[in-house]
Structure 1
Amino acid sequence: MSDAIHATTAPAPVGAYPHARRVGDLLFLSGVGPRVPGTNAIPGNIHDATGRVTEYDIEAQCRQVFANVRAVLEASGARWQDLVDVTVFLTDMGRDFERYNQVYAEHFNDPLCAPCRTTLGITALPTPIAIELKCVASLNARGS
């Protein structure tokens, strides 16, 4: 049996799924993007007159996605330090990897304590975002 978690401090999921699901001592987060809670605005996106995204700021999106992951973790009773695995999806690996990696290092500044990480370049995400994270946390990681 597992417990579904819905975080009121994170943006609502874009589909019919929970923010996270706890199974034993593991917490599985659904994909988390950089939408702003309450407004669904996407930081750093610049639109043309037709509403098409013409430019975006990957650093702003990275900072928001990390804030959203933290909100889901906290709503689940977990902490940032409980993360054990992070899968990152970037829609433009060549353009964004270096800046994303710099922001990632600010949030995980000790590689010996950082979660495992996989970064994938993909062609699109379901909303006009440039980054999405899929995370797993271990509630047992806190030593309790």
Structure 2
Amino acid sequence: MASNPEHLHSSKAPEPVGLYPHARRVGNLLFLSGVGPREKGTSQIPGVELDEEGNIARYDIAAQCHAVFRNVRYILEDAGSGWANLVDVTVFLTNMKDDFQTYNRIYAEYFKDNQPCRTTVEVNKLPTPIAIELKCIATIGAPEQV
């Protein structure tokens, strides 16, 4: 993570697509910026095929779910937090009708031991050609100490 104690940048998560940090620490709380499924160092998005104009031709929501959860974990760990410290998750899906069942099943696998508050909303579009993005709040320190 970067040396600024408030603005945190992960060494493993994909680079932000704008002028914002991966996360910001305020007291013992960690606020993550929107996290998508892109891979670090590339514009590659797991499970996404684009057409000639750069529009989504096909995508695999399961591959994107696994990738976005991995990226969230990278940011949490680089910030001195962890999966068990998540307290609130907001999920943005671009196709609730087709993707919610798969997303909900995979979410249950990742969150069976820790069940943060959750809100899931459908949005028309996300800034890059992705089908899912997470906005999270976590604590820093052992979950039982906060």
- The one-letter amino acid of 1:65's match is V
Identity of aligned residues (%): 59
Aligned residues: 141
Q: Of residues 67, 72, 88 in structure 1, which corresponds to 2:70?
A: 67
In structure 2, C-alpha distance between the alignment counterparts of 1:7 and 1:48, rounded to whole Å: 31
Q: Of residues 94, 105, 109 in structure 1, which corresponds to 2:108?
A: 105
CA contact (8 A) 2:14 2:71 kept: yes
Within-5 A mapping of 1:77-116: 77-110=80-113, 113-116=114-117
- Structure 1 stretches of at least 4 aligned residues deviating more than 6 Å after TM superposition: none
Q: Of residues 8, 18, 39 in structure 2, which corresponds to 1:5?
A: 8
In structure 1, C-alpha distance between the alignment counterparts of 2:142 and 2:87, rounded to whole Å: 8
TM-score w.r.t. length of structure 2: 0.92
CA contact (8 A) 2:35 2:71 kept: yes
Indicate the residue corresponding to 1:137 in structure 2.
138
- Structure 2 SS opposite 1:143: helix
Segments of 5+ residues of structure 2 without an aligned counterpart are: none
- Structure 1 SS opposite 2:127: coil
In structure 2, C-alpha distance between the alignment counterparts of 1:16 and 1:71, rounded to whole Å: 19
Indicate the residue corresponding to 1:120 in structure 2.
121
In structure 1, C-alpha distance between the alignment counterparts of 2:37 and 2:105, rounded to whole Å: 17
Indicate the residue corresponding to 2:56 in structure 1.
53
1:18 aligns with 2:21: yes
